[in-house]
Structure 1
Amino acid sequence: MVPADLNVLKCCQSWVDDGYAVVLVTVLRTWGSSPRPPGSMMALREDGAVSGSVSGGCIEDDLIHEMREEGVRALCADALPALRKYGVRAEDAHRFGLPCGGTMELVLEPICGNSVLPELVEQLEQRKAVLRCLDMETGIATLGPAQSGDLPVLVEGRSFRHALGPRYRLIVIGAGELSRYFCMVASGLNFDILVCDPRKDYLVDWDLPDIPVTREMPDDVVLQANPDSRTAVVTLTHDPKLDDLALMHALQSDAFYVGALGSRSNNTRRVERLRDYFDLPQEALSRLHGPAGLYIGSKTPPEIALSILAEMIAAKNGVLLSSQPSVSEGKALLVS
């Protein structure tokens, strides 16, 4: 489960270690519509190889062409960080494939020893939130802890600040039809997803190649992941042999959301098992979202996936919801 940002940074460092000149491109600001949000990164190697993305492709093509034809100094005068805007004029927006009215500003940074990438990669691999500050006049970068309120990217004077940290993770137990819809939407919400299902038959029709699947036992997967406050665990199998042990570990972790699919009666029996056979304390049991999801009258797998994701996002964003209403109430109540 390697976050995209970390993969870009690791590519940067690997290419520099191999003797290549490399420019790190970061989306600083956007106006109107834009293909990628602020903080998105791309590594650009002197021979035109890239890792990551800052647009739908046309801006990358322009930077690649310039890098190949003229080298790093064409992008970064005096081998120092530089700013560049795309889409200011209508013809530029059309040329570079930006949506109507879209404009984006990029930071172009030549990677060197002052970029402190090895230290940054090490901290991100430890799932730390890091604030990287780049002096645009000297190219010297420093690292410090990122705070929850830090913007993804910010320019103050000639200082470029980039808050980096682990993406929110999602561990999904079960690879059935519901899981497929669940993961499709969660992927669009930028979760770093791992699906776990040791049942061979359930993996035959899995058609989401960008979402990894493991056949390890769910409890082993949860233990290895060591869920932190940016991790959610959702069980979707209805099978106690797969769900219960995974839930036991997840409920005793720092996971911000632990949910389990099933009816109210199934959930009652699940809680009893976790309490009576696994000795989970009430404090841990009270963290279980079961049945998982907000009541929206969902019947189909896509609707059920939407209801669970809505509850999960509410937990991620710190929105307090009342306990699940009965079906007769027909709605979920928001606690002010």
Structure 2
Amino acid sequence: MDNLDLVVLRTLRDWRHKGRRALLATVVRTWGSSPRPIGSIMALCEDGTVVGSVSGGCIEDDLIYRFTHAYSGKGEGGDIPQGAPQLLKYGIRADEAHRFGLPCGGTLELLLEFDPEPQPLSELVAQLENGKLMQREVRLADGHVSLRMAEQPSDLSISDTVLLNNFGPEYRMLLIGAGQLTEYLATMALFNGFTVTVCDPREEYRGNWSVAGAELTAEMPDDVVREFRADRRSAIIALTHDPKLDDLALLEALETEAFYIGAIGSRSNNNLRRERLIEYFDQTEESLARLRGPIGIFIGSKTPSEIAVSIMAEVLAVKNGVTLPRDMDVAAAKNSMGVPPNDTDLVCSIG
């Protein structure tokens, strides 16, 4: 499943190459609570078709009303204008915030680009499809677009003269082990816009793999981690329970900038793993600080599908910069369920 930004840009490119009028809306500023983060994009075609999102739907409806004839049966709507980009604010007043479904006190500002040139869109989409990180610069005076390779991800910025927004590469996830839990987790990761690679040298596990869209490889996990070249948009998760497969791969992962590195296992199993890595591989508590385990948010899970939900939730929380007071929450949740403090059999991932 493609990254949503890529879907929006590809669709907009196709509209423009067919000569259809369209606009690109980008969230450039927010104040207070906002339904979508800065950098979110959507495209609107002249016939009222929308792809992407800048809100929960109400702002999209207003843009359709303002700039298309989708409501022509009532004599409403207008044409997509021509000329320089425009800034448009929503939610300045309490009644407007309520009308557009913004949280109390929420305000957002959009930059609207009218009829973006198709050639730069084609170039941008092609680079993103090749896994490149690109910076798109929009000159506010006339909408002229410049593209360049970006060295590293950065947040959107806007000045009085230009908008700078980075796109791609997609978030990636490398899963070690091709068991049932991995199938559920890979499916959820694909649904959330990750590119997924699964490695497992064990033929008996690969033979039953059934998740379309995830790349499957039979190479040894530590070799795959090296070739994966994880960056700050990468997650690496070991799911085999086999130290021969997991441990060396995790050591390689810790040498990368991956934003999430974790391994399946109960608390006792994860403690044993840390002891092994310290004793036999000259690691320290400091060098293992980024290694997560047990993985997942504690939700009392016992089935592979629910465990996958808990892991995916934690990955997304870390990706989105959410602090998780895991130890405190797990202890409190277990106490409320009457789970003995030393019980490590409830869930293999988060027990």
Is the structural similarity TM-score above 0.5?
yes
The one-character-per-residue Cα deviations of 1:59-114 (angstroms, maximum 9, x if unpaired) are: 1111123332289x957643321111111122211111111111111011123337
Q: With the length of structure 1 as denominator, give the TM-score of the two structures.
A: 0.66
Deviation at 1:191, TM superposition (A): 6.8
Equivalence for 1:216? 216
**Aligned equivalents of 1:195 and 1:149: distance in 2?**
21
Note if 1:169 corresponds to 2:192. no
Equivalent positions of 1:199-238 (< 5 A) are: 214=214, 216-217=216-217, 219=219, 226-229=228-231, 230-238=233-241
Q: Counterpart of 2:2? A: 2
- SS of aligned partner of 1:69: coil
1:96-135 correspondence to structure 2 within 5 Å: 96-113=100-117, 116-135=120-139
CA contact (8 A) 1:44 1:64 kept: yes
Moved more, 246-255 or 5-14: 246-255
Query: Which residue is 2:146 aligned to?
Result: 142
**Residue 37 of structure 1 aligns with which residue?**
37
1:247 aligns with 2:249: yes
Assess, with a 3 A threshold, how the Cα gap between structure 1 residues 86 and 252 changes in structure 2: closer, same or farther: closer
Tell me, in whole angstroms, the C-alpha distance in 2 between the residues paired with 1:10 and 1:249. 38
Please tell me the residue identity of whatever aligns with 1:119.
Answer: E
Matched, 1:12 2:16: no
Tell me, yes or no, if the aligned pair for 1:53 and 1:60 is still in contact at 8 Å.
Answer: yes
Q: Quick check: 2:137–2:146 contact (8 Å CA) kept in 1?
A: yes
State how far apart, in whole Å, the 2-side matches of 1:163 and 1:215 are.
Answer: 26
The answer to which of 258-267 and 54-63 deviates more is 258-267
CA contact under 8 A between 1:30 and 1:104: conserved in structure 2?
yes
Matched position secondary structure for 2:38: coil
| Aligned-residue offset at 1:150 | 4.0
Q: Name the SS of the counterpart of 1:123 in structure 2.
A: helix
Contact 1:87/1:102 (8 A) holds in 2: yes
Q: For 1:99-139, what per-residue CA distance to the aligned partner results, in whole angstroms no more than 9, with x for missing partners?
A: 11111110111233377212222332333332222112211
* SS of match in other structure, 1:238: coil
* Alpha carbons 1:131, 1:163 under 8 Å: kept: yes
| Separation (CA, whole Å) in 2 of partners of 1:146 and 1:220 | 31
Question: Which stretch has the larger CA shift, 155-164 or 85-94?
Answer: 155-164
Going from structure 1 to structure 2, the CA distance change for 1:137 and 1:95 (only over 3 Å counts) comes to same
SS at match of 1:59: helix
**Greater Cα offset, 9-18 or 292-301:** 292-301
Q: Secondary structure at the match of 1:121?
A: helix
2:255 & 2:129 partners in 1: Cα distance?
A: 19
Aligned to 2:69, what secondary structure does the other structure show? helix
Aligned in 2, Cα 1:247/1:46: closer, same or farther, shift over 3 Å? Answer: same
How far has the Cα of 1:3 moved from its partner?
1.8
Alignment partners' CA distance in 1, 2:122 and 2:140: 20
What is aligned with 1:59? Answer: 59
Given candidates 263, 266, 273, the residue that maps to 1:260 is: 263
RMSD across aligned C-alpha pairs, in angstroms?
Answer: 4.9
Alpha carbons 1:238, 1:261 under 8 Å: kept: yes
Unaligned runs of 5+ in 2: 323-340, 343-351
Structure 2 match to 1:332: none
Q: Structure 2 counterpart of 1:135, which letter? A: R
Query: 1:171-222: CA deviations, max 9, x gaps?
Result: 33456569858987x899x77253749568897xx9xxxxx76483464995
- Name the CA shift for 1:74/1:138 in 2 (closer, same or farther; >3 Å): farther
For 1:68, the equivalent position in structure 2 comes to 68
Asked if the contact 1:296–1:307 (Cα under 8 Å) also holds between the matched residues in 2, the reply is yes
SS for the counterpart of 1:116 is helix
Tell me by how many angstroms 1:42 deviates. Answer: 0.5
SS in 1 for 2:6: helix
Q: CA deviation at 1:26?
A: 0.5
